Structure 1
Amino acid sequence: MAKKAETVEEKLRALYDLQLIDSRIDEIRNMRGELPLEVEDLKDEVAGLTTRLEKLNNEVQTVDEQIKTKKNEIDSHKESIKKYTDQQKDVRNNREFNSLTKEIEYQTLEIELAEKHIKEFKANLEYKKNLISQTSEKLDLKSNHLKHKENELNGILTETEREEKALVIKSEEFSAIIEDRLLNAYTRIRNGVKNRLAVVSIERGASAGSFFTIPPQVQVEIAGRKKIMTDEHSGRILVDAALAAEEREKIDTIIKNLK
């Protein structure tokens, strides 16, 4: 088990080292940004469009079958008309003739109704084929966009995944040597600020990223490294510039060796 930091200076160095490592992890994850979510959303869209396309193609097949059925019905009605017309030539009275005439009229109406249905089916078929064309075009665009985004994400992952995993281990190692009270404070401050900087150095008389000047006497105390000092405006833990420079050089070397 790693030895806990004992002196204030050791604690400050460990905290600043942890901040530098965690900031690099943040940087790597920010490089990915919204890409993983974007890729997942695109996958969902592609899956949805694929399902829609399959459904439309099945519907087109059904409509095609309906048209064939109606055409077969028309052929059947035409055969009936021919049969009844032929029978009219051999009728013995007007009653039989009129009965056959009604049958012919009925078959004719059935043909007209079937033709009307075919016309409606064809209009529906044309509409669905247009939808298929539009959906296919959209699917191609989304699929190409997904492929591009997956390649982009995979490129970033390939470039940074090994480094990130190693940095996470280093972060855990440095966390292990910091006492729980300080580590909890570090985590609380880090989670409470937008840039996730819980430990900052003094730059030009102010804490890094702040416009509020730190009084000279306080700067001397911070440089003395005898107690943990925080910025009264932001609550961040403060370290002196010399310590920060030394630790940045050390952590930069560690990070370079991880790549």
Structure 2
Amino acid sequence: MATTKELSVEDKLRAIYDLQLIDSRIDEIRNVRGELPLEVEDLEDEVAGLSTRLDKLKSDLESIEEQIKNKKGAIEEHKEGIKKYTKQQETVRNNREFNSLTKEVEFQELEIQLAEKQIKEMKASIEHKKQVIADSKERLDAKSSHLKHKKSELDAIMSETEKEETFLSEKSAEYEALIEERLLQAYKRIRGSVRNGLAVVSIERGASAGSFFTIPPQTQMEIASRKKVITDEHSGRILVDSALADEEKEKMEQLFSKF
């Protein structure tokens, strides 16, 4: 390919208009995907969050069940304590020892009551957590199913367009290399500031494409002469004549038709 310095103004205009056509086609491909990649990403984050929450709930449930097991074990120990202290009361030598053992028995009974109360509360907590787990699992299953559908949808679009987008992105880079840095930066700046991404437009019915502002005849003649790069004073877009635009569109259509 010719280097940037060897390009005439007309060649520069053709190159930058070709670049615009290629980049616009890439825009179209990406618009087909729309918000799908972001939707998939958000759903993946949501599914991951729900999975983590579900794991935490299950871990909490196991912890409560272990606590109940420990409390039941403690109750058995307290019952053994009651048996021991009650038996010791049969061999006491005085009232002071009897009363001391009675207090020990009462303490063990209170500990049993407390443990039973805590077990009852923990069992209620288990039932609540089981319901929360069931609801969370149902929600996770629904989100996972939705994610699977959206990923399948995105994969189908990607399989149709990925090869073309890769090819066009390489072509875009090739055409960028032909354009001098100052003009390329202007092109990118304009593309980034306009909603439709059109930085280079042709003259249509005496006005720049997509604009209602008429281009003066003298300016139209200068544009058609292809001797210098001219921009629209209203939008800042780079202007090319319709004949050049038609020629380059036809050339690019052949490129795009490969897909």
Distance 1:9 1:86, change over 3 A: same
Q: Which residue of 2 aligns with 1:256?
A: 257
1:227 match: secondary structure: coil
Structure 1 residue 86 displacement after superposition: 5.3
Rounded Cα–Cα distance in structure 2 between residues aligned with 1:182 and 1:93:
109
Which moved further from structure 2: 61-70 or 95-104?
95-104
For structure 2, the residue ranges without an aligned partner over 5 or more in a row are none
Structure 1 residue 249 displacement after superposition: 1.3
Q: Is the 8 A contact 1:9 1:226 kept in 2?
A: yes
Q: Is the 8 A contact 1:39 1:146 kept in 2?
A: yes
Structure 1 residue 43 displacement after superposition: 2.0
TM-score, length-scaled by structure 1: 0.88
Q: Which residue of 2 aligns with 1:33?
A: 34
Does residue 244 of the first structure (1) align with residue 241 of the second (2)?
Answer: no
Q: Which residue of 2 aligns with 1:179?
A: 180
For structure 1, the residue ranges without an aligned partner over 5 or more in a row are none
RMSD of Structure 2 on Structure 1 (CA): 2.3
Q: Which residue of 2 aligns with 1:80?
A: 81
TM-score, length-scaled by structure 2: 0.88
Q: Is the 8 A contact 1:2 1:173 kept in 2?
A: no
Q: Which residue of 2 aligns with 1:107?
A: 108
Q: Is the 8 A contact 1:2 1:176 kept in 2?
A: no
Distance 1:103 1:206, change over 3 A: same
1:202 match: secondary structure: strand
Rounded Cα–Cα distance in structure 1 between residues aligned with 2:9 and 2:115:
93
Q: Which residue of 2 aligns with 1:68?
A: 69
Which moved further from structure 2: 61-70 or 2-11?
2-11
Q: Which residue of 2 aligns with 1:43?
A: 44
Q: Is the 8 A contact 1:74 1:114 kept in 2?
A: yes
Q: Which residue of 2 aligns with 1:210?
A: 211
Rounded Cα–Cα distance in structure 1 between residues aligned with 2:171 and 2:63:
62
Distance 1:82 1:231, change over 3 A: same
Q: Which residue of 2 aligns with 1:22?
A: 23
Which moved further from structure 2: 221-230 or 15-24?
221-230
Deviations 1:112-161 (A, max 9, x none): 11111112222322232232222222221221222122212212211111
1:234 match: secondary structure: coil
